[in-house]
Amino acid sequence: MAGPAALILLIEDQPQMRRFVTATLRAHQYQVVEAGSAREGLAQAAGRNPDVILLDLGLPDRDGLEVTREIRRSARMPIIVISARGQESDKVAALDLGADDYLTKPFGVSELMARIRVALRHSRSGDGTGTDGVFEAGDLRVDLGRRQVLHDGSEAHLTPTEYKLLVSLVRNAGRVVTHRQLLREVWGANYAEQSHYLRVYMAQLRHKLERDPTRPRLFLTEPGVGYRLVEGAILPAPT
């Protein structure tokens, strides 16, 4: 991590959880500010202007979704929400309200670090990849400038919609994208509820770009929430 260490605001009411996350983040050279309640968290968010906010959705004093909305009123920094399994609709609501990603409790260190890394990268590079970079992950290579997709070294032939969907995912690589967000981006606002379109095209993409489409390694499903293309390398456009 070049430059000054990123500042992370952790809004979490459980002390044990705060202890584990704070220790882990500090060990990875991040600066950490802790808040034990929504009220305190909102004050710190406004006063310290952190680079990333980790927000537990189950705070005792205020609804996590409200806190998300409140922060988004004035600030654009990435918000990663933390919630328990079985609260998929809350996660989707938080993401649609402007949260960037989520972590499901219990989570491991590698997952936590990956989320923060991706969030920082997206917030620093604006929209992630430019319009002409090259994205590489596993045996997938997407050349955005040439609109060329290589799978395992050979060119994959995609339909226009498949390509559009792929580009949306590449721009958000490493980050979860909800069904609704993808449907809006690829098909338009009128298709926000037609989730089977998305699922069918996703299956088609996997059949063209995954080694084993029943055990996807690149295009991951976030059940009940959306999809996540794995983190990859972004190279400058070849000259």
Site residues (vs other proteins, CB under 8 A): 85-86, 88, 106, 108, 157-161, 163, 194-197, 199-203, 206, 213-216, 220-221, 223-224
User: Rounded to an integer, what is the distance from CA 228 to the centroid of its chain?
Assistant: 7
Taking the complex as a whole, the smallest distance from the CB of residue 197 to other proteins amounts, in Å, to 5
Taking the complex as a whole, the smallest distance from the CB of residue 119 to other proteins amounts, in Å, to 22
Taking the complex as a whole, the smallest distance from the CB of residue 33 to other proteins amounts, in Å, to 28
Instruction: Tell me the helices (H) and strands (E) count for the chain, helix number first.
Output: 8, 13
Q: Between 73 and 157, whose beta carbon lies closer to other proteins?
A: 157
Adjacent-strand bridge partners of 193: none
Q: Between 49 and 148, whose beta carbon lies closer to other proteins?
A: 148
Residues 93/101, Cβ–Cβ less than 8 Å = no
Q: Between 47 and 107, whose beta carbon lies closer to other proteins?
A: 107
User: What 3-state DSSP class applies to 158?
Assistant: coil
Q: Between 122 and 151, whose beta carbon lies closer to other proteins?
A: 151
Residue 6 exposed, middle or buried by CB count within 10 Å (0-12, 13-18, 19+): buried
Q: Between 36 and 58, whose beta carbon lies closer to other proteins?
A: 58
Taking the complex as a whole, the smallest distance from the CB of residue 195 to other proteins amounts, in Å, to 6
Taking the complex as a whole, the smallest distance from the CB of residue 224 to other proteins amounts, in Å, to 5
Give every strand in the sheet of 154-155, ordered side by side: 154-155, 148-151, 140-143, 134-137, 233-235
Measured at the CA of 115, the angle between CA 56 and CA 62, to 5 degrees, comes to: 15
